[in-house]
Structure 1
Amino acid sequence: MSSVLGGTLPLDLDPQQLLADAAAILDQATERFMSGVGAPSAVTKGHNDFATEFDFELERTISAELAQRTQIAVHGEEFGGPDLTEGTVWVVDPIDGTYNYSAGLPIAGMLLALVHDGRPVLGLTWLPLSGLNYQGFVGGGLVCNGKPMPQLAPRKLSEAMLAFGAFNIASRGRYPGAYRVEMLGELSRRTSRLRLFGSTGFDLALTAGGQLDGSVTFGHHAWDNAGGAALVLAAGGQISDIEGRPWSVTSPSIVAASPGVHDELIELIGRLGDPGAFEPPKEKYT
């Protein structure tokens, strides 16, 4: 099954120095992040989605520091930025797991990624509420809380613990709720354990760190996925979209897992068939 290698930086950019600069910026932002836990919604962004004032404040601060220190353009969740499919660009999610964060649930974090021509190069996931900081670059290994982590060993799906993305049985779109529920049921029969944490960054970071053996994410936003994608690749894991195609910032979803587990996941998901065939009748959920 397909899994993409990460992007390659221009020769004049040092991934170790970029990681050090980015880590220092996230360290500086941590106290402010912690002070905002429980912050209410400030701006509604769509159905059941919102941003707090801390999202905007942290993105401004982190983006300005990144641009100044590295001279590389920044694209953020709240304020946008340059095209992520061309050149070298930072991607920032100031608060991933915003619903958790606003509710005071300690599963949320700050996400950073560097992408080149749409491919993940390096990533950082700071999870202050869990006491975990992950950083790494493709080909350079994974570090958690300053300690180099071992490369992910091959695993079997039957012994795996997986994180599963959000779903609502009545939801529509590319991966309708009925399709997600069917997938959840099949995974429940084939895996050791399933977990729903409500934070893509958390899911992907713990997959890279080996606390989880894989994760399935239905969202397509680069700010949610790119940093964790880089971490999983740095740790020797595999990534693709749900259909098994190589992952990039334009992908509609992401499946990340340890070697072995990834291929089994993609095979199982493929047997479910076309996601669109699971679209529920409108009248059923009115």
Structure 2
Amino acid sequence: MDHQRLLDIASAVLDSAVDEFVAGLGAPSAVEKGVTDFATQVDLDLERRLAAELADRTQIPVHGEEFGGPPVTEGAVWVLDPVDGTYNYSTGVPMAGILLGLLVDGDPVLGLTWLPLLGRRYAAHVDGPLLADGAPAPALAPLDLKASAIAYGPFNAAGRGRYPGARRADVIRALSSRVARLRMTGSTGVDMAYTAAGIFGGAIAFGRHAWDNAAGAALVRAAGGVATDLSGAPWTASSPSLVCAAPGVHEEIMAVIADVVGDEWGAAGDVGTTPPANPGGRS
């Protein structure tokens, strides 16, 4: 598998979608999924077009957020989120983007995060380096939690599921006294790309979907960072969550989580197959 060739093709395909993405800012809901969870017509149109072009040009199938696809844990498969941060996008907040990852037997080997409304492009394959707007970025240096801004996934404090909202609130409360700043952008793609680029020291996402997490995990690892789930296991497409951070910061984040929730968020349970009972963490 020629990772650089695939990265070049994928970059060109995403570049072709930038104008349409920017023009659609503020698009209303077209498909309701939950209380505050929806897809716009831009989501639907972009996924159809990008998935068809990727499959045609690379001969690798695509699994998208809106229309699904082949299993994400078997063989080579692209995972595509045509509009990450949909609520932001629909309300005019520019923290939104296009996420594309390439998985091989569930492991992320390529990641692309295009942020057209911010004019930024992040891409990498498994051997690195991280490319920021096409130029190699410095590898992530070890960092302390107290000197870091940490991004935290949006949540409903009354939500249930694998990671109950009340416990997420406990964790963010503990982090608040140990970090330089907390940030909640509403976009997993922004959080993880900014972590790979060294803007954030780390980021925590409670969602389990590969189309949300694969690109960011690949970018952070290519940049020299760490990508695991909330139990500390290396991230794969079967993982129920994602924690990415610079060296040093990741260990400190995991220590805070362990102090607050103990082994409640450990590896036991129905990992990667059961959606949360409450959609309060959607962006």
TM over 0.5: yes
Q: Which amino acid in the other structure matches residue 195 of structure 2?
A: T
Partner of 1:50: 38
When normalised by structure 1's length, the TM-score is 0.91
- The partner residue of 2:214 within 216, 226, 244 is 226
Q: Give the one of 100, 104, 122 matched to 2:110.
A: 122
Q: CA RMSD in A?
A: 1.0
Trace 1:72-83 onto structure 2 (pairs within 5 A): 72-83=60-71
TM-fit CA distance, 1:168: 1.4
Match of 1:41 in 2: 29
- Matching of residues 185-224 of structure 1 within 5 Å: 185-224=173-212
Instruction: Report SS of the residue matched to 2:130.
Output: strand
Aligned to 2:163: 175
**Deviation at residue 243 of structure 1 after TM alignment:** 1.2
Give the 3-state SS of the residue equivalent to 1:42 in structure 2.
strand
Structure 1: 5+ residue stretches without partners: 1-12, 277-286
What does residue 89 of structure 2 align with? 101
Question: Match of 1:193, as an amino acid?
Answer: R
Structure 2: where are the runs of 5+ without partners?
Answer: 267-283
Output the CA distance in 2 between the equivalents of 1:239 and 1:51.
28
1:45 deviation in Å? Answer: 1.1
In 1, distance between residues paired with 2:112 and 2:157?
A: 32
Correspondence for 1:144: 132
CA offset at residue 275 of structure 1?
Answer: 5.4
Aligned length: 264
How far is 1:47 from its partner?
2.9
Matched, 1:25 2:41: no
Query: Given that residues 176 and 275 in structure 1 are in contact (C-alpha distance below 8 angstroms), is that contact kept between their aligned partners in structure 2?
Result: no
Task: Report deviation, 1:140.
Answer: 2.1
Q: Distance in 2 between matches of 1:47 and 1:269?
A: 29
Give the direction of change, closer, same or farther, for the CA distance of 1:246–1:275 in structure 2 (3 Å limit): closer
* Residue of 254, 257, 276 corresponding to 2:242: 254
CA distance in 1, matches of 2:19, 2:119: 13
TM-score (norm 2): 0.92
The superposition leaves residues 104-130 of structure 1 with CA deviations (integer Å, 9 ceiling, x where unpaired) of 111100000000000100100000111
What are the residue-to-residue correspondences of 1:256-271 with 2, within 5 Å? 256-271=244-259
Q: Is contact 1:42-1:53 (8 Å) kept? A: yes
Q: Distance in 2 between matches of 1:57 and 1:19?
A: 22
Residue 55 of structure 2 aligns with which residue? Answer: 67
Measure, in 2, the Cα distance between the counterparts of 1:116 and 1:47: 34
User: Any conservation in 1 of the 2:64–2:79 contact (CA below 8 Å)?
Assistant: yes
